[in-house]
Amino acid sequence: MAEMSVTILMLIPILLPFVAALVIFGFKKWLKSFAAELGAGVLIAIVALIAALNYRIMNSSTKILYGVYNTSVGNEYGPPIGVQFRADGFSTWFMLLINIIIIFVFIFESAKQREKPEAPIYVSIILFLVAGINGVSLSYDFLTMILSWVIIGVSLISLISFKRQTENLKEGGVRSFILIGLSIALLLLAVVLCYGVFGTLNFDTIRNDDAIMSSSRIQNIPFVIYTIIALVVIGFGIFANVFLLNLWMPKTIQKTSGTTQFFMMGITSSLALVSMFRVLLSFFNPENYDMANYPMLLAIFGLLTAFEGALLLIYQVTKKESENISLTKIIIFSAFANIGIILTCLSLGSMSIESSQESLLSIKECMGYSMLQMINLALSMFLSFTAKDRIVEKRNMSDSLPDLKGIAREYPLTTFILIISIFSTIGLLPTFGGVNLYMLLLSLIKLDCLFFAIALIVIVIMMLFGYLLVFKYILFGKSTRDVSLTEGGLSRDLSLQTFFGTLLALCLIVFGLLPFIIDNQIVEYIDLFFS
């Protein structure tokens, strides 16, 4: 009975948003006035259930709970192809933080979507996306994970294509359909090959069965192994926006809503990296055999992604035609740089999973603060894109920097939110992102990865240089409108959205000043991610 209740606790965060989406879509005629509020209520219920699941985990001896069937005991191995869920001290906290951020997405959308006839459809798509996100977070076999990514992919295509004009549909919907469809096709091919090689898709079974992972067996099929690794890296790399696989993204989402941009850059990119390492380290642990020396290649790949993002950011802000400098693209490129940093640090940490006791703490810090930087990226992207959206909508102008001159005087609260989120994105102290990057730098130095530590410093400096022009326009540019800060600007900027946005921006500062509030749980239990 206890196992059944745990299974239900794991299923509800996936099924509840799915069912709620169907209900809201089915009764859209009557629910259009408060569809976003219903979405927020569903997410609050999910957060409460995840908190209850986390409580059960913290009271267990292993800090791990299984759903459907328990694959940690040899005689209880489930079928080679079947649904398997697992929750541990790391994954539940990670999922909890992500779902809390999504609650604020619905709060932000509540004012924008109220009374709009298409609001229930938009909210339903987001809830479908939440179901897929929670499915990925809890899945513990390759097939269940990929099925969850199919839900995410379909939802993302729908969000990108939502209310796009015909002339812009090619840049958005068609391109996303092709690339996301290609990604899912590559991952499904990897699933087929993995089943052919290992005879199962369960992560625990493969990790714990020495016969499956024997070096003599694996070395007989090196081409298949390399093909699977390549398919996994490219498939998840398209979702994660890694080096060269991200060139399609800026134009695809530039004219979408801030919420869509947030999900693309702040949530699914990080979740794709988590899925990539979950699969690779379960099927091809580099400590078990020498032929799969992919972590160093991924670290270099991540470094290239980070430099690509920083260089594209600088290129964007130094364009001669200032009216073509898009704030949306600038934020996207800074997200690329962060994704590259996260990929690099995760790769370097995974190279030494079975390392000596002396370096174990540094490895946990490297991996743990990489995951925390994913949380920072999600929160920063949400604040950046929604603040940008609010300013553009209120001013009824484009997102080019010349059109954003003097916004600090007209919209002081929204500008504060934007500036703090940018500070955290590029890693300036005392923000949450600044602390994460500082701890990553220290852990890389302790692991004798000095080259990568220096590269991280250079990337942060490049991002800061790129954003200096943005600060100049936003903070010191002269507005074409004569607005007094006290008489007009502050009063016109007060709203429920700016209140919660300011609260979240202050959280970025508080998490930077008092990092133990949020980092203890993630860093302490990060090793469960690899066990």
Could you report the per-residue pLDDT of 107-139, keeping only the tens digit for each?
A: 888 877 776 778 888 899 999 999 999 999 999
CA pair distance 242, 336, nearest whole angstrom: 7
Going by C-alpha positions, the residue among 378, 340, 345, 342 that lies closest to residue 518 is 378
Give the model's pLDDT for residue 271.
Answer: 94
Give the model's pLDDT for residue 1.
Answer: 41
Residue 139 phi, psi dihedral angles, 5° rounding: -70, 145
**Token reading at 144:** 């269940």
CA gyration radius for the chain?
A: 23
Scored b (16 or more CB within 10 A) or e, 260-291 reads bbbbbbbbbbbbbbbbbbbbbbbbbbbeebee
**Token reading at 242:** 């890694």
What is this structure's pTM?
0.91
Q: How confident is the prediction along the chain (531 residues), in pLDDT tens digits per residue?
A: 444 477 888 889 999 999 999 999 888 888 878 888 899 999 999 999 999 888 888 888 888 888 776 665 554 455 566 678 888 888 888 899 999 999 999 988 887 777 677 888 889 999 999 999 999 999 988 999 999 999 999 999 988 888 665 556 666 778 888 889 999 999 999 999 988 888 888 887 777 776 666 655 666 677 888 889 999 999 999 999 998 888 888 888 888 888 999 999 999 999 999 999 999 888 887 766 555 578 888 999 999 999 999 999 999 988 877 777 888 999 999 999 999 999 999 988 877 554 555 566 677 888 888 999 999 999 999 999 999 988 888 777 778 888 888 788 888 888 899 999 999 999 998 899 999 999 999 989 988 889 999 999 999 999 999 898 888 888 876 665 555 545 556 777 778 888 899 999 999 999 999 888 887 777 777 877 776
**DSSP assignment string, 307-374:** HHHHHHHHHHHT-SSGGG-BHHHHHHHHHHHHHHHHHHHHHHHHTTTT--HHHHHHHHHHHHHHHHHH
CA pair distance 244, 231, nearest whole angstrom: 15
CA pair distance 390, 386, nearest whole angstrom: 6
pLDDT per position as a tens digit, 8-61? 888 899 999 999 999 998 888 888 788 888 999 999 999 999 998 888 888 888
CA pair distance 211, 215, nearest whole angstrom: 9
